[in-house]
């Protein structure tokens, strides 16, 4: 697909949030006023340790 930024988060970034921020299809299924549940979850509860790039 050629979207290397989305799949190569730098150190200390959350893979999921990074992907959602840079992959243009990550939120493609959402309506304009719809929240992305995984993103909301990380916003409220923080990013799981296993998703942080070491």
State the nearest-atom distance from the C-beta of 12 to Zn ion, in Å.
11
Binding map of Zn ion across residues 12-41, x = CB under 5 A, - = no contact = --x-xx--x---------------x--x--
Please tell me the distance from the alpha carbon of residue 11 to that of residue 38, in angstroms, as a whole number.
20
Q: Does residue 47 touch Zn ion according to CB under 5 A?
A: yes
Query: What is the residue whose two structure tokens read 């988060």?
Result: 9
Q: Which residues of this protein are in contact with Zn ion, per CB under 5 A?
A: 14, 16-17, 20, 36, 39, 42, 47
């Amino acid at each position: 697909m050629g979207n290397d930024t989305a799949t190569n988060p730098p150190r200390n970034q959350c893979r999921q949030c990074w992907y959602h921020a840079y992959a243009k299809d990550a939120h493609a299924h959402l309506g304009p006023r719809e929240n992305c549940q995984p993103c909301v979850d990380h916003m409220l509860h923080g990013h799981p340790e296993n998703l942080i790039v070491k």
